[in-house]
Structure 1
Amino acid sequence: MPGMAIDPDTKDWTWVLQRPCPECGTEAAAHTPATTAQVLEDAVVRWEAVLRRPDVARRPDGSTWSPLEYAAHVRDVCGVFRERLHLILTEDDPTFPNWDQDAAAVAGRYGEQEPAAVAEELAVNARAVGADFDAVPQDRWERSGLRSNGSPFTVRTLSQYFLHDVLHHLHDVGG
């Protein structure tokens, strides 16, 4: 099943900045850049447990990523959001380059990667972006940037949106 195409996720998830997610229960607005590193540290432990499952590469059905694919996605999301944070902090009102998560999954052959390597890379990437968010002084939390579709983000809302993604996918895989 790993070769089967997954329908792209075209939903706009920015509403999670206003209200808790009914699917995963994450209340993104409760987080700040200062809490990001600890939330990610807890998430890394949970992702490592998921990646030790014997069936980690098995898709539950033909339209859903396997836990391995979700973990590889989250690993890469950490890098994307680290780049976006860097842009907000170094440029005035930048527009983030578009990132096609579905194309990245296909090009990266997420379902064929080694689970132990994904676990290690996810941990490294999560800790790096967590440290970067943690290092942002509170007086810079309202610096802003735009996603390629025009959705505005600040350092604060970028951390919240990012954490929802990490935690939502843990929920997706029962982690």
Structure 2
Amino acid sequence: MTSDPIVPDDKDWTWVLGERCPECGFTAADVDPLQIGATVRDLVPRYVSALHRQDARERPAPTVWSTLEYGAHVRDVFRIFGERLDLMLEHDDPAFANWDQDAAARESRYDLQDPSVVADELIAAGEHTADRFDAVPADAWERTGRRSNGSVFTVRTLGQYFLHDVVHHLHDVHS
């Protein structure tokens, strides 16, 4: 296994809310927010299967995350977006704490985690976040929240943006 540095991704991916992603083909604007939870539940087994592959710890290139690293990242995406959704439902226009995904990967040593443990944690976090999206009241989809860079989301667009991340990284682990 290699632990070569990954070039930090400092792009603002909010553009996916208005355009089709050319890398994974996902169109966030087409997502029915009422289907976010079901879609997460459909995708989680594919991550679990990938995490049980023999090569899950191997990077396809020195500066590209392994399936294990992507799995740990997506587990954390489930957790972070579940927390952000809760903030938006419980508070008026909350500001989200900054989350540096690259720092999280380094500090938590995604590359050294146990793929089976990550798979179990990903299942639990995915189910929890799917349940949270399933429980959004009909009158709450337009509630707002803000990222530290000023990007404003509604509950609807947060869910669409979140789902792009999950789909995109599944594309990464199967490419």
Aligned residues: 175
Does the alignment pair 1:149 with 2:164? no
Post-superposition offset of 1:31? 1.6
Distance in 2, matches of 1:44 and 1:104, equals 21
Q: Which moved more, 1:111-120 or 1:25-34?
A: 25-34
Distance in 2, matches of 1:24 and 1:122, equals 21
1:14-50 CA distance string (max 9 Å, x none):
1111121111011111223321111111111110111
State the identity %: 56
1:59-106 CA distance string (max 9 Å, x none):
111111101000000000111001111111111111100001001001
> Which AA in structure 2 matches 1:112?
L
Using structure 2 for the length normalisation, give the TM-score: 0.97
In the other structure, the counterpart of 2:160 is 160
Distance in 2, matches of 1:137 and 1:101, equals 29
Question: Are 1:97 and 1:148, in contact at CA under 8 Å, matched by a contact in 2?
Answer: yes
Structure 1: any 5+ residue segments left out of the alignment?
none
Q: CA RMSD in A?
A: 1.1
Structure 2: any 5+ residue segments left out of the alignment?
none
In the other structure, the counterpart of 1:62 is 62
Does the alignment pair 1:23 with 2:23? yes
Using structure 1 for the length normalisation, give the TM-score: 0.97
Question: Are 1:33 and 1:136, in contact at CA under 8 Å, matched by a contact in 2?
Answer: no
Distance in 1, matches of 2:87 and 2:137, equals 16
- Once superposed, which parts of structure 1, at least 4 consecutive aligned residues long, lie more than 2 Å away? none
Q: How does 1:10-49 map to 2 (within 5 A)?
A: 10-49=10-49
In the other structure, the counterpart of 1:120 is 120
> Which AA in structure 1 matches 2:137?
P
Name the SS for the 1:173 alignment partner: helix
Distance in 1, matches of 2:124 and 2:70, equals 16
1:85-144 CA distance string (max 9 Å, x none):
111111111110000100100111101111111111001101100100110012110000
> Which AA in structure 2 matches 1:91?
H
Distance in 2, matches of 1:33 and 1:121, equals 24
Question: Are 1:2 and 1:112, in contact at CA under 8 Å, matched by a contact in 2?
Answer: no
Distance in 1, matches of 2:27 and 2:7, equals 27
In the other structure, the counterpart of 2:80 is 80
Distance in 2, matches of 1:111 and 1:31, equals 32
Question: Are 1:36 and 1:159, in contact at CA under 8 Å, matched by a contact in 2?
Answer: yes
Distance in 2, matches of 1:136 and 1:2, equals 42
